[in-house]
């Protein structure tokens, strides 16, 4: 609006330009159009395409899992409390306070008590996390810091005495806490941490110290404002009677009170600083902690994997520092599982906003005919439909991860522990990297309106971005997956067992590594390309080759460079191997999910989406398959053509597919994803 206009002027279009713009905008204010392609493009794209019939109801109930009820309760609570909804524009301090009030409201008013589910029913716990994160991602992370990180460390690394003492206070938020692992100089390299916890046998206490500035605990969520306790990771130092005088037992976890429970004053010997304004997640108060001779009782050692007796003797059921360290970190994978799961939630939101808008927005068209919906442009389908297919694929893969994690928590089966560790590392890194890229692609797919803060992409992108780094940097985590694959590969040749997810390597080494079959390399019928066996074989063939070739390269280079140097020389190869393996797991789980779907129409829709996921991935990596003649030139062309056709078919049911996600507040707050009324309010808000 022209700022010189008077109030009276505002009710009338003041000139023809404004009138034209209003007329133009009103084109977008019609109700959400039926989900048919623009007829003219329908003909252009594929004359014979027949639309699948799919009903989002049964599909949605198949997707949802069993914990929808508690999610609904959370949404209802926040819907009924506008004072607890995060406004678009909010200062960091206000956001932090609001976030704490949201958390308090959730626990004390809505009576959602999540803590026991962390161990007893992780699937329910993750469903709560997802719902909470979709109210405000800062809230989801603050919730995760309290229950997965601070609470999870007490439950998983401590013993009964810790559970008895802290459970209730953590659950009802009387004891807000932090997880203080990262230091200024060491993030990914946790074994390099320098904070010390020295046992004093005279007073029966540990003394916590920050030996230098590089050892200041940094980025600690909940530390800057609200936390009263911290689980501090520090090197356990024991006095000895030898010439050294002390012995370093490696990194252990300790409960350290940081603020007074009543006055909230910072306790003596502790300095707390604020990490300040961040790129996103500003509802979370990240802080830095320095300890100077802070004394804590011996009981505050979280002693599940290692203990110190009254006379200063160390005991552990695990024989080496490395084994204890692995067991400690192994217990913390829950946070990683939660992030992978939550990241799929963010991807669903982002894809839903972009697809809904693309079904609403019209631009250009053939002469003298209505403009076409932007989702009918092949380029737009190419941007969004494989992404929609990937979202479905990741949904089932992370559901599988949660199932395996829950099973692991019940059985503590050693092999399962290793499997879940590698799978959670792989899926967390693969999914969060994919979602981060997709958020930008979705913003761009919504043109200029995607850039308005009210339409969510900015906050989603900024808040989600760090998912790639915390709970383990993605590049570092993928290396753990590669390392695990190589270990399995080596074990296989020594006759060892293969863990569940890796099982396919058993056959693949024999079957897939023989020369590609020149006959099947030429098969190009649609039935063959849509056969799950062909798709899975192709994924696994690629992983097996990468595994075999990188193993050979590592062997060769380690002779001259040593193992560290050889690993670095092959690092990109190793990362590709890890991603390829994770894609194989994702596809296998998607295929299972299609086959297990009880509703015929939903199954047909899922099969279509699964085929698009598989063939799009193969097409994106077609060079690899062509290089070794796994796929002949004509077959490559057929894959490309079929991928485009499937994208078009998925476009035809895109509305139902996104509705089946059944998404809560974030989407309904993005006017461009909504029906005309919300869109109209949006345009009014900016002054029309």
Ligand X SMILES: Cc1cc2nc3c(=O)[nH]c(=O)nc-3n(C[C@H](O)[C@H](O)[C@H](O)COP(=O)(O)OP(=O)(O)OC[C@H]3O[C@@H](n4cnc5c(N)ncnc54)[C@H](O)[C@@H]3O)c2cc1C
Residues whose CB falls within 8 Å of the CB of residue 575, separated by 6 or more in sequence, listed in order: 475, 478, 479, 482
Which residue has 């050294």 as its token pair?
244
Among the listed residues 471, 579, 583, 656, the single catalytic one is: 471
- Would you say 182 is a known binding-site residue? yes
Take residue 315 and report the two structure tokens written for it: 């005991």
568, 573, 578, 584 alpha-carbon torsion, rounded to 10°: -170
| DSSP state letter for 32 | P
Nearest 5 degrees, angle CA 402-CA 405-CA 406? Answer: 85
> 150 with 170: CB under 8 angstroms?
yes
- Residue 390 Cβ vs ligand X, minimum distance, rounded to whole Å: 23
Residues whose CB falls within 8 Å of the CB of residue 171, separated by 6 or more in sequence, listed in order: 107, 113, 114, 115, 116, 151
**205 classed as catalytic:** no
Take residue 677 and report the two structure tokens written for it: 């009324």
- CA 311 to centroid of chain Cα atoms: 45
Question: Strands 286-291, 307-308: parallel, antiparallel or unpaired by DSSP?
Answer: unpaired
Q: Considering the complex, state which of residue 145 and residue 385 has its C-beta at the smaller distance from ligand X.
A: 145
Q: Considering the complex, state which of residue 222 and residue 391 has its C-beta at the smaller distance from ligand X.
A: 222
Q: Considering the complex, state which of residue 63 and residue 193 has its C-beta at the smaller distance from ligand X.
A: 193
Sign of the CA dihedral with 366 first, then 367, 370, and 373 last: positive
> 72 with 662: CB under 8 angstroms?
no
Take residue 405 and report the two structure tokens written for it: 């994690």
Q: Considering the complex, state which of residue 188 and residue 191 has its C-beta at the smaller distance from ligand X.
A: 188
User: Which residues of this chain interact with ligand X, rule CB under 6 A?
Assistant: 145, 179-182, 187-188, 219-221, 278, 281, 286, 466, 469-470, 473, 475-476
* Complete DSSP assignment for 567-610: HHHTHHHHHHHHHHHHHHHHHHHHHHHHHH--SHHHHHHHHHHH
Angle in degrees, 0-180, between the axes of helices 137-144 and 333-358, rounded to the nearest 10: 170
Outline where 150-260 has alpha helix (H).
152-157, 160-171
> 683 with 23: CB under 8 angstroms?
no
Question: Which residue lies nearest ligand X, judged by its C-beta?
Answer: 187
Q: Considering the complex, state which of residue 77 and residue 218 has its C-beta at the smaller distance from ligand X.
A: 218
- Residue 473 Cβ vs ligand X, minimum distance, rounded to whole Å: 4
Q: Considering the complex, state which of residue 103 and residue 180 has its C-beta at the smaller distance from ligand X.
A: 180
- Residue 620 Cβ vs ligand X, minimum distance, rounded to whole Å: 23
- Residue 203 Cβ vs ligand X, minimum distance, rounded to whole Å: 28
C-alpha to C-alpha distance for 156 and 136, rounded to whole angstroms: 27
Sign of the CA dihedral with 220 first, then 222, 224, and 230 last: negative
Q: Considering the complex, state which of residue 137 and residue 608 has its C-beta at the smaller distance from ligand X.
A: 137
Which residue has 């979705």 as its token pair?
442
H helix and E strand count, the chain = 27, 13
C-alpha to C-alpha distance for 451 and 444, rounded to whole angstroms: 8
- Residue 241 Cβ vs ligand X, minimum distance, rounded to whole Å: 34
- Residue 438 Cβ vs ligand X, minimum distance, rounded to whole Å: 20
Give me Rg for the CA atoms of the chain. 27
Q: Considering the complex, state which of residue 116 and residue 278 has its C-beta at the smaller distance from ligand X.
A: 278
Q: Considering the complex, state which of residue 443 and residue 464 has its C-beta at the smaller distance from ligand X.
A: 464
Q: Considering the complex, state which of residue 441 and residue 476 has its C-beta at the smaller distance from ligand X.
A: 476
C-alpha to C-alpha distance for 229 and 261, rounded to whole angstroms: 9
In angstroms, the first-to-last Cα distance of the chain is: 7
* Nearest partner of 324 among 303, 297, 299, 308, judged by Cα: 303
- Residue 125 Cβ vs ligand X, minimum distance, rounded to whole Å: 18
- Residue 293 Cβ vs ligand X, minimum distance, rounded to whole Å: 22
| Ramachandran assignment for 348, one of left (phi > 0), alpha (psi -120 to 50 degrees), beta (any other) | alpha
C-alpha to C-alpha distance for 24 and 28, rounded to whole angstroms: 8
- Residue 561 Cβ vs ligand X, minimum distance, rounded to whole Å: 15
C-alpha to C-alpha distance for 65 and 126, rounded to whole angstroms: 12
- Residue 147 Cβ vs ligand X, minimum distance, rounded to whole Å: 13
Q: Considering the complex, state which of residue 193 and residue 374 has its C-beta at the smaller distance from ligand X.
A: 193
Nearest 5 degrees, angle CA 683-CA 134-CA 231? Answer: 140
What CA–CA distances, in Å, run from 380 to 305, 374, 647, 651, 652?
53, 7, 10, 10, 13
- Residue 548 Cβ vs ligand X, minimum distance, rounded to whole Å: 23
C-alpha to C-alpha distance for 632 and 520, rounded to whole angstroms: 9
- Report the residue count for the chain: 688
- Would you say 250 is a known binding-site residue? no
Take residue 270 and report the two structure tokens written for it: 């502790």
Binding-site residue set for FAD: 182, 221
Binding-site residue set: 182, 221
Which residues are catalytically annotated?
471
């Amino acid at each position: 609006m022209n700022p010189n206009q008077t109030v009276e002027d505002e009710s009338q279009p003041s000139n023809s330009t404004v009138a034209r713009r209003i007329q133009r905008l009103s084109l977008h204010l019609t109700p959400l159009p039926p989900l048919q392609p623009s007829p003219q493009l329908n003909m252009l794209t594929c004359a014979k395409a027949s639309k699948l019939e799919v009903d989002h109801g049964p599909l949605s109930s198949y997707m949802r899992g069993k914990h929808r009820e508690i999610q609904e309760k959370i949404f209802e609570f926040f819907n009924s409390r506008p004072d607890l909804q995060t406004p678009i524009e909010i200062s960091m301090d206000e956001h932090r306070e609001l976030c704490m009030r949201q958390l308090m409201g959730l626990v004390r008013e809505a009576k959602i008590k999540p803590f026991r589910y962390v161990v007893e029913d992780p699937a329910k716990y993750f469903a709560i996390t997802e719902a909470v994160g979709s109210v405000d991602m800062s809230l989801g992370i603050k919730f995760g810091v309290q229950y997965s990180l601070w609470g999870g460390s007490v439950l998983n690394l401590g013993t009964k005495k810790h559970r008895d003492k802290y459970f209730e206070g953590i659950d009802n938020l009387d004891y807000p806490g932090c997880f203080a692992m990262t230091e200024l100089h060491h993030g990914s390299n946790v074994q390099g941490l320098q904070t010390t916890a020295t046992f004093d046998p005279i007073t029966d206490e540990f003394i916590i110290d920050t030996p230098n500035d590089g050892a200041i605990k940094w980025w600690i969520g909940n530390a800057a404002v609200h936390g009263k306790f911290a689980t501090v990771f520090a090197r356990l130092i024991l006095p000895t009677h030898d010439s050294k005088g002390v012995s370093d037992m490696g990194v252990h976890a300790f409960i350290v009170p940081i603020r007074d429970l009543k006055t909230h004053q910072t306790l003596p010997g502790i300095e707390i600083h604020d990490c300040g304004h961040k790129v996103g997640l500003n509802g979370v108060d990240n802080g830095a902690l320095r300890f100077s001779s802070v004394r804590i009782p011996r009981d505050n050692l979280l002693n599940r994997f290692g203990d110190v007796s009254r006379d200063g003797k160390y005991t552990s059921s695990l024989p080496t520092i490395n084994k204890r360290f692995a067991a400690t970190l192994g217990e913390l994978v829950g946070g990683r599982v939660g992030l992978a799961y939550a990241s799929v939630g963010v991807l669903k939101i982002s894809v839903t906003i972009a697809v809904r808008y693309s079904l609403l927005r019209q631009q250009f068209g053939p002469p003298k005919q209505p403009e076409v919906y932007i989702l009918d442009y092949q380029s737009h389908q190419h941007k969004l439909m494989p992404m929609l297919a990937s979202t479905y694929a990741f949904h089932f893969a992370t559901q599988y991860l949660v199932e395996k994690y829950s099973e692991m928590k019940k059985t503590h089966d050693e092999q399962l522990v290793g499997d879940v560790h590698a799978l959670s590392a792989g899926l967390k890194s693969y999914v969060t990297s994919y979602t981060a890229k997709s958020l930008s692609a979705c913003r761009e797919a919504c043109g200029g309106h995607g850039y308005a803060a009210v339409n969510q992409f900015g906050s989603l992108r900024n808040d989600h971005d760090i998912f790639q780094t915390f709970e383990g940097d993605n590049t570092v985590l993928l290396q753990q997956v590669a390392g695990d694959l190589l270990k399995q590969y080596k074990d296989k040749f020594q006759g060892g067992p293969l863990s569940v997810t890796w099982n396919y390597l058993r056959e693949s080494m024999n079957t897939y590594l023989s020369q590609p079959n020149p006959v099947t390399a030429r098969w190009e019928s649609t039935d063959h390309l849509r056969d799950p066996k062909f798709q899975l074989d192709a994924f696994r063939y690629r992983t097996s080759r990468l595994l075999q070739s990188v193993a050979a390269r590592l062997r060769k280079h380690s002779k001259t460079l040593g193992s560290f140097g050889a690993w670095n020389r092959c690092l990109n190869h190793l990362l590709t191997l890890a991603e390829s393996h994770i894609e194989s797991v994702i596809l296998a789980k998607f295929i299972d999910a299609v086959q297990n779907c009880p509703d015929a129409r939903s199954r047909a829709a899922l099969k279509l989406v699964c085929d698009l996921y598989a063939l799009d991935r193969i097409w994106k990596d077609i060079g690899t398959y062509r290089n070794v003649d796994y796929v002949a030139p004509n077959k490559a062309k057929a894959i490309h053509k079929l991928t485009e056709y499937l994208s078009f078919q998925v476009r035809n049911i895109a509305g139902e597919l996104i509705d089946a996600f059944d998404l809560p507040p974030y989407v309904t707050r993005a006017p461009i994803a909504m029906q005309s009324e919300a869109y109209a309010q949006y345009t009014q808000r900016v002054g029309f």
